[in-house]
Structure formats: structure tokens, C-alpha cells
Amino acid sequence: MRRERGVPRAGWEKTIEGQGLAYHRAAHPQGLSRPYWDESVHYVFSMAEVESLEEQVEELHAMCLRAAAHVVETGRFADFAIPGWAAEEVARSWERRDAHLYARFDLRYDGTGPAKLLEYNADTPTSLLESSVIQWFWLQDTHPGDDQWNSIHERLIDRWRALPLPPGPTHFAWTNMDETGEEAMTLAYLQETAEQAGLRTVAVAMEDIGWDELNRRFVDMDEQMIRSIFKLYPWEWMLGEPFGRHAVRHSTWIEPLWKALLSNKALLAVLWELYPGHPNLLPAYLDGPRDLESYIAKPLLGREGASMRVVTPALTQETPGSYGQEGYVFQGFEALPEFDGQRPVLGAWVIADEAAGLGIRETTGLITDDTSSFVPHRIELT
């Protein structure tokens, strides 16, 4: 694994916008000089590295599924801040093995040892379009003789074909709270893959979904029944809203309700309990940092690196945010590796239950937040 510099393609902004990355200008907070999509640099991997990472990702995913089973079997829903009224429905969703689509591991990896799990974005992961389409076309334009860890697009289409969905169109829901357009474009891309798989689809805003009390069903703006629906809207938000009590019992949701366990950072502590000392895990606890000299406190339901606190013998660093009311997990802290002053985090994609691709975000800080930039990668074949 190494970081290389290159010359951006002429007119790269219009190129990526034409390929769907319309939100790249708005993806960063204002005032940053570095663009969100940065093709002036990229990472290079060997095929052996990627094959090893694929194996590690699939093992981690299997471990996470076993951790979900453990939570359901032992009834540890309170550790995950699951409301008491919803716990039985989460368990039923798991026991039914409600079908799932995709997820993203965030990993620490420096090319010299096993990858370390930082968190699992298993409910509403983004940076998908960048990982799937945008960096693939970058590779074809700049290094056509090389390869890329990237079968995301094909696997998504195959997975849509395999999902046991009820008859009728599948709805795709975004939220009007999306200010950058990232969620809307991610949703549009996923909707396109579903259509390529032969599904009929309908787009709808979460805020426009109605509840038909008489017929006990969700409906869209045209009063059409919603039988199956993909959402980029977290389950923890849904469970905190009035219609959440209907949502857990009606319609086929993608991602399914049991994904609320895998997208919760309490999962990190359960994994460490079940697999203490595993080479792909960092120590993690729910009741405090215990004997950890260096640790990071992560809110169970935090997003975009907000409301985190890094504590080491040399420093304490916090990020702003309003998360944390539901509690924290305390995870052993290992700083991300440094390449030319930048710290990459590897986003390893899982489609269904198989490793599918890689996206990389960089930042200069210890915590990867909304100021990070996405950079492409390639597998060197020559």
C-alpha cells in the first residue's frame, strides 16, 4: 500500500458531475481548500493485499452476524439503546432473516498488518457512488492497464435480483433534511441499479410517506401502497418517531430492522467480548475505558465523526456534536497511519454477505469527519 501523486484529468469536475457526483462541491463544509473528490493523489495496492483484505472483511462480517445473534439470544437490546417496545420486533426481524442489501466497514490499515475495525456502517452507508462508479471511470481514464477492488455495481444488481421482495414497485426514500444532495444522489444511484435488475421503482421523500389508518398500510403521495421500500434514513430516527411503531410491523424495509444492531457502535464492545484479542479488533467496552491508556469515546448512534473524544497520555481531543445521550462505547485508540501528512480510512463494502469493493477517505486529523476527502485507488498489475 502506497500513496502516489498524479495530474487530475482536464475538466474533471464536469466529468464526475456527469457521472452522478453532483454533490461534490457541497459535500464539504465551506472554507476548505481541498476538494471532496481529490484525484491528484491515489493509493496503490498489490493484488495479494486486496485478497487478504477481502478475506478479513468477510470474516468480520460473519463475526458481526454472530454478534447480532448473541444480542438477540441474550436480550441485550438496552445496551444498544433499542426502545423496549421495539426489542421484540428487532428480534423477529433477525429470526426471520429479513433480507439485507449492503454495508460498509471502516478500517484502519497501513499495509503492514491486519486491518482493524473502527466501525460498521450497516444501515445507511454513503460514499457509495464514489466507490462504485466514479473511481472506476477514473481508473479507466488514467490507469487502464491496472485493476481496482470494485465489483460493487455488478453485485448490487445481482443482489436486487435475489432479494425476496413482495409484488409491486419498490419505493426509494430520501429525506428533505439532506442539504448537500449526497443522499439524494446515492439513492438515485441505488434506484438505477434496482431498475437495471428489472425492478419497478418509485422515488418518495420520507416526509411524504403517509399512514393509511383504515387499511393499516403505508402509502405514497399517489395513495399507492408501499409494499417494499429502500431508505437512507436511520432506524434509530424511525424508532424515535410516531410512525416507527407502524414501520416495524408493516412493509418490507431495506435495510431491515435487525441492521439497527450492526449499525450501532455497541457492536464493537460485543465483538470484543465474543472474540477477545482477535487481530482485526480493537478492545472496546461499554462501561468505561477500563485499563486502556489510549482510547476513543464514540456515541453509540453518532455520525460523521461528531461528539467523539480521543484520550491519550499526550493529548485529549474532542469533536463538536449533539450525539451521546444514548451512551458511548470506549474503544482502544490507534491513530490512523500517516501518508504524506494525510490519514486514510478504508471503507470496505459488503454486498449481501460478500466483500465487494473499497473507498478511501483522507483527513489530516485523528478523526475522520465531514472535512475528509475521497481519493481513488488502483491495484498494480504491471
Domain extents in the chain: 2-264+337-379
Distance of CA 226 to the CA centre of its chain: 25
Retrieve residue 135's grid coordinates. Answer: 473511481
Mean pLDDT confidence for 185-205: 96
What per-residue confidence (pLDDT) applies to 183? 87
What per-residue confidence (pLDDT) applies to 304? 82
Mean pLDDT confidence for 65-89: 97
Residue 179 has pLDDT above 90, yes or no: no
Pairing of strands 41-45, 377-379: parallel
Assess contact for 279 and 60: CB atoms under 8 A: no
What per-residue confidence (pLDDT) applies to 368? 87
Pairwise CA distance, residues 295 & 194, whole Å:
41
Please give the residue that has the higher pLDDT: either 156 or 25.
Answer: 156
Assess contact for 307 and 262: CB atoms under 8 A: no
Retrieve residue 234's grid coordinates. Answer: 436511520
Residue 189: how many CA atoms within 13 Å on its side-chain side? 26
pLDDT band at 184 (very low <50, low <70, confident <90, very high): confident
What per-residue confidence (pLDDT) applies to 209? 96
pLDDT per residue as tens digits for the range 262-308: 999 999 999 999 999 999 999 999 999 999 999 999 999 988 888 99
- DSSP string for residues in 289-331: -TT-SSEEEEETT--TTTT-EEE-SS-EEE---S--TT-EEEE
* Angle, helices 182-196/152-162, rounded to nearest 10 degrees: 60
Mean pLDDT confidence for 29-46: 90
Pairwise CA distance, residues 29 & 373, whole Å:
11
**β-sheet bridge partners, residue 204:** 173
pLDDT per residue as tens digits for the range 39-52: 999 999 999 999 99
What per-residue confidence (pLDDT) applies to 181? 79
Pairwise CA distance, residues 184 & 65, whole Å:
29
Mean pLDDT score of the chain: 95
Retrieve residue 242's grid coordinates. Answer: 410516531
Mean pLDDT confidence for 318-330: 93
What per-residue confidence (pLDDT) applies to 338? 96
pTM confidence score = 0.96
- Alpha helices by DSSP H, 199-326: 235-239, 244-247, 259-262, 266-274
pLDDT per residue as tens digits for the range 118-170: 999 999 998 999 999 999 999 999 999 999 999 999 999 999 999 999 999 99
pLDDT per residue as tens digits for the range 212-252: 999 999 999 999 999 999 999 999 999 999 999 999 999 99
Assess contact for 147 and 355: CB atoms under 8 A: no
Q: Residue 227 burial by CB count (10 A; 0-12/13-18/19+): exposed, middle or buried?
A: middle
What per-residue confidence (pLDDT) applies to 223? 95
What per-residue confidence (pLDDT) applies to 370? 80
